[in-house]
Amino acid sequence: MYDFKSEINKIEDVVQIKIDVPFAVKYVCLYLIEVNGNKVLIDAGLNMGNWKRKFFSALHDIELSINNINYCIISHIHIDHIGLLRTLKHKNPEMKIIMNDITHKILEWETNEKNIDEMKKEAKKVAALMVKYGFTEKEAQKVVQFFTFWPRYIQYQKPDMIVNDGDTILDNLDVIWTPGHSFGHICIFDRKKRYLFAGDHILSRITPHIGNFVISPALRNKYETYNFDNILDHYLKSLDRIDKLEPKIIFPAHQEIIYNPHQRILEIKKHHENRLQEISSVISNNPLTPFEISKIHFGNNLDEINSYMAMSEVLGHLLYLDYQNKVNKVEKNGKILFFT
C-alpha cells in the first residue's frame, strides 16, 4: 500500500493540509479557513490507501475535530477532490456540504447504477469520435472502459447547499464558475481578503488538463447554449474573470501557493497561445489527425488513457482554432485531418 506523507502549513490565516499522491500532480491540498465564525473546508480529498488516516491525523495535529468544521465546499467532481465527502458527512452530520449544481448533477448521474447503460452509450459516442480523430478501435475501447470504470471510486453524497455562478456563501465567499478542467468546476473568492481557492483551475507550475468528457444527455439539454466543443475558450474566459478580481493570493489544490496571480495567469495564457501557434505550424499544408499531432507534442510512449488525455488536449486547441476559422478539416479514410 502506498504510504502517503502529510504536511501542514499556515499561510496568513489559511491552514493548508498537504498530502502526497502517486500521481503527476504530487500533492493534494485541502484548505481550512474561518468565515464569520464558521470553519470551512475547501474540498474533500482522496479516498485511497491511508490518505484518510493522514487527513484525520493532520486535523488532530492542529487540534481540530471534524465536528468543528461547519462547511465543506467542493471545487469539482474529480476523485482527489470529492473522495472523503461521504466519510466526512458520516462523522459530522451537521457539516453542510456545498456543491455546484452542475457538479451535483454529474455526481448523481455517474454514481447511479441505473445509468450505467446510458453512460456506456455516451462513452461510446466519445470513443467513436476518437477513432475519427486517429485512435484505433482498441484504443477507443479503453476510453469507454475508463469513463465507465472510474466513477466507481466515487460515492454519492447529497449536498446540503447547491450553488451556482455568482452566488455568495456566508456573506463573503463568492462562487465563480470556471469550466475547462471540469464542466462544473468552481473557484471560491474571499472578497475581503482577496484569497482565491482555485481548485485545479490555476496551478503554479503546470496547466490543468483541458478536454472533452462524457456528459449526460439531460445536462447537455439543460445547458444547450453551452458550447461543449470549444472548452479552451471557456477556460481562457474563466482565467480573465479571475484576473479581473485581482486576487492577492491563489491557493491551488496542487503544487505551490501562488503569490503573483496576475503573472501566473499571463503565463498560462501565454502557454496556450504558444501551443496554438505550435499546432498551427505543425499542420501548415500538412493535414494530420489530432492523434498524430498529440504524438508530436507528447511522444508516442503513452498508455491508452494518457494518449486520450494528450489527444483531447490537442483537440481542445484545434477546436478553438476551428471556431475562429483558422483551420480546415478534411475526412479521409474515415479519419478527420486538420490543416492550415
pLDDT of residue 284 exceeding 70: yes
Residue 144 phi, psi dihedral angles, 5° rounding: -60, -45
Confidence band, pLDDT 50/70/90 cuts, at residue 1:
low
Segments making up each domain of the chain, as ranges:
6-109+159-272, 113-149+283-339
Packing angle, helices 290-298 and 304-323, rounded to 10: 110
pTM: predicted TM-score of the whole model, two decimal places = 0.95
User: Closest Cα partner for 197 from 210, 179, 181, 185?
Assistant: 185
The pLDDT score that the predictor gives to residue 92 is 98
Helix, strand, coil in percent for the chain, rounding step 5:
45, 20, 35
Confidence band, pLDDT 50/70/90 cuts, at residue 2:
low
- pLDDT average, residue stretch 48-70: 94
Confidence band, pLDDT 50/70/90 cuts, at residue 335:
very high
- pLDDT average, residue stretch 58-71: 96
Distance from C-alpha of 292 to C-alpha of 206, rounded to nearest angstrom? 23
- Enter the C-alpha cell of residue 189: 473568492
Mean pLDDT of the chain: 93
User: Closest Cα partner for 78 from 171, 144, 153, 174?
Assistant: 153
What is the b/e burial string over 248-285, where b = at least 16 CB atoms within 10 angstroms of the residue's CB?
ebbbbbbbeebeebeebbeebbeebeebbeebbebbee
What is the b/e burial string over 212-244, where b = at least 16 CB atoms within 10 angstroms of the residue's CB?
bbbbbeebeeeeeeeeeebbbbbbbebbeebbe
Residue 220 phi, psi dihedral angles, 5° rounding: -60, -40
pLDDT tens figures, 237-261? 999 999 999 999 999 999 999 999 9
254, 197 Cβ separation under 8 angstroms: no
- What class does CATH assign to 6-109+159-272? alpha beta
More confident residue, 222 or 149: 222
